[in-house]
Amino acid sequence: MPSHDVLIIGAGLAGQRAALSAAESGASVAIVSKVHPVRSHSVAAAGGINAALNPEDSWESHAFDTVKGSDYLGDQDAIEIMCREAPDELLYLEHIGVTFHRNETGHLGTRAFGGASAARTYYVADITGHAILHVLYEQLMKRTEQIDRYEEWFTTDLLQDDEGRCTGAICRDLRDGALEVFNAKTTILASGGCGQLYKPTTNGLIVTGDGIAQAYRIGAKLMDMEMVQYHPTTLAGNGLLITEGARGEGAWLLNAEGDRFMEKYAPNKFELASRDVVSRAEQTEINEGRGFPDGTVALDITKVPRRRTLEALREIVNIGRDFAGVDITREPIHILPGMHYIMGGIKTDSDGQTTVPHLYAAGEVACVSVHGGNRLGANSLLDTLVFGRRSGAHAAARALQMPMPSAPTSRVADTEKHIVAIMNRPTGGRRIGAIKNELGETMNEYVAVFRDEAGLTTAHEIVRRLKDEATHAAVDDRGSVFNQDVIAAIELGYMLDVAETIVVGALERRECRGAQWRIDYPGRNDEEWLKHIDISVNGADVPLVSFSPVTITRWQPEERTY
Ligand SMILES: Cc1cc2nc3c(=O)[nH]c(=O)nc-3n(C[C@H](O)[C@H](O)[C@H](O)COP(=O)(O)OP(=O)(O)OC[C@H]3O[C@@H](n4cnc5c(N)ncnc54)[C@H](O)[C@@H]3O)c2cc1C
């Protein structure tokens, strides 16, 4: 049985950064990932990472932009930590070998991003996540004495002792289907977001909310789950992302009449207002008949000098050509708002501690909360690294002072039984893919840029029905080697749990704030709703809502304009 001081579930940026920091603190570490680590979804991150590193910039300015971007729902103590620690984190990355862009003077160069009052986004062309993830993985491989990697292992359940403390997890080796208890003094969930419960989404097939659901099922509180970000520039149909870097480099948004409509909605920032503002503006143009017949508006990247586009935005040149048949250096490309990110997640403090003892969370799975109602572009990579590192260090320090818990090995039998039951389901029920499609389309219709009570209630009813249908969705593969059918059935259960918490949160918050835009409750209502919605499990699987205060250190809520 694998036994470690610190178990990390997830090997994207948050997980790898946590592993390195826990190992540096002297702990023995296991890092588990359902895919090879460098295929983790962080590899898709494009535009860059924020840090106030230039002498004329300041962490306070970065923090204020983040607070304002969050529509005042972000916890300001956590935001201060993230923005203060950003420059050191960026230099750490540079020193271990991330080849950040350098400008003509040889210094690290920046690009502008939405909602920021200074150009403070550091980048590697439009493959920033790829570049960072690979360099962290090199570091991981250098530390094989302390860090054991379990690549292509799937975590099914978290384990708890009689006092409710997390004592590790059960994982399935995807190569042969074997189940193992991973015993650990402390466990860090770094298993990413939940984009796949929307269709379309910018997120890859592996982003199924596993960790959020696993923590929820053992009683951890979730927070800000209603806050789901729609990115302003995604391709119709497939949801592929056109990075915000394009607008950072100078691209314009145009409606079908050729108007640069952002002038109306954000006269100071235009295309570089925060994402919720730009997505709402686009959706308004589309809903009011000023979009194109395919339900889109246009992003005009020809405003960026062609040479610069080919140098700094080469991936989206490929995406435009391969997936839309458009040469973005010569003509505008049609885009629309699309599901991209969840600001909510497992409620943690700024050291990653969740409400379940000895369980930590970091990265997109977690809600610290530094993004509140709306995440600023390029703040997520920063969040994964700063809070990944902090979680790793805290979990290691705690683990080094504890005895190894005794593992409840009997739980493996329950998981085994569950998997056998999935494989033995009679054929004839609805297909897993069909249920997943209906879930994604439902969320995209009713829990999107604009929301109201009737739509959210419909979504809730559909999700409850799908939860029931999912319990008898049959699988075809009954083997043990790379049985992705069984994994898809388990992931579907996670997605439905997470979807329900999102819908319940969105029904609860009766105001407009950040990504939660209730057309039936116009305006932000600080008097009643300047608070977090926490969701935990109540009985079998009914979400229980409670509230917690927003931490305000120095920035009182103000009207938010760009
Ligand atoms: C297309 C795209 C572009 C983006 N660009 C940017 C950008 O430029 N700047 C920015 O700041 N943010 C960007 N983001 C957001 C950012 O990339 C993500 O929020 C961030 O990378 C998430 O990192 P993570 O470490 O939390 O999770 P991930 O990188 O998603 O890693 C999750 C890990 O958990 C593992 N895992 C999940 N479930 C299980 C399980 N059951 N068992 C075992 N392992 C499991 C996975 O295998 C994986 O290793 C972008 C997002 C997308 C989709």
Ligand 1 atom showing the smallest separation from residue 123 Cα? 8
Place of tokens 């919605």: 533
Ligand 1 atom showing the smallest separation from residue 363 Cα? 26
What pLDDT was estimated at residue 291? 98
**C-alpha pair distances (Å), 452 with each of 60, 409, 512:** 36, 46, 11
Mean pLDDT of 247-268: 97
What pLDDT was estimated at residue 482? 97
Q: How many CA atoms lie within 13 A of 211 on its CB side?
A: 34
pLDDT category at 300 given cuts 50, 70, 90 is: very high
What pLDDT was estimated at residue 301? 97
Distance 102 CA to ligand 1 centre (A): 26
What pLDDT was estimated at residue 182? 96
Active-site hit among 275, 411, 451, 513:
275
275 catalytically annotated = yes
Query: How do residues 91-112 score in pLDDT, each as one tens digit?
Result: 999 999 999 999 999 999 999 9
Place of tokens 């295929």: 39
Following DSSP, what letter does each residue of 455-515 receive, concatenated? HHHHHHHHHHHHHHHHTT---S---SSS-HHHHHHHHHHHHHHHHHHHHHHHHH--SEETT
Query: How do residues 181-213 score in pLDDT, each as one tens digit?
Result: 999 999 999 999 999 999 999 999 999 999 999
Output the residue whose Cα is nearest ligand 1's atom 41: 155
pLDDT at 406 over 90: no
Ligand 1 atom showing the smallest separation from residue 10 Cα? 34
Ligand 1 atom showing the smallest separation from residue 128 Cα? 8
Distance 364 CA to ligand 1 centre (A): 7
pLDDT at 407 over 90: no
Model's pTM, two decimal places? 0.97
Query: How do residues 39-92 score in pLDDT, each as one tens digit?
Result: 999 999 999 999 999 999 999 999 999 999 999 999 999 999 999 999 999 999
pLDDT at 293 over 90: yes
Distance 192 CA to ligand 1 centre (A): 5
Distance 262 CA to ligand 1 centre (A): 30
pLDDT at 12 over 80: yes
pLDDT category at 365 given cuts 50, 70, 90 is: very high
Mean pLDDT of 314-319: 94
pLDDT at 6 over 80: yes
pLDDT category at 262 given cuts 50, 70, 90 is: very high
Beta strands in 73-152 (DSSP E): 110-111, 121-122, 147-151
pLDDT at 541 over 80: no
Residue to substitute in 98, 380, 494 for testing ligand 1 pocket (most ligand atoms within 8 angstroms of CB): 380
What pLDDT was estimated at residue 205? 96
> Pocket residues for ligand 1 (CB within 6 Å)?
9-15, 32-35, 37, 40-42, 44-49, 128-129, 154-155, 190-193, 202-203, 206-207, 210-211, 241, 341, 363-365, 378-381, 384
What pLDDT was estimated at residue 553? 98
Lowest mean pLDDT, pick from 430-444, 480-494, 532-546: 532-546
Output the residue whose Cα is nearest ligand 1's atom 37: 191
pLDDT at 539 over 80: no
Helix (H) or strand (E) holding 9, with range, is strand 3-9
What the block records as the tokens of 53 is 């590193």
Closest C-alpha among 321, 338, 375, 378 to residue 46? 378
What pLDDT was estimated at residue 489? 97
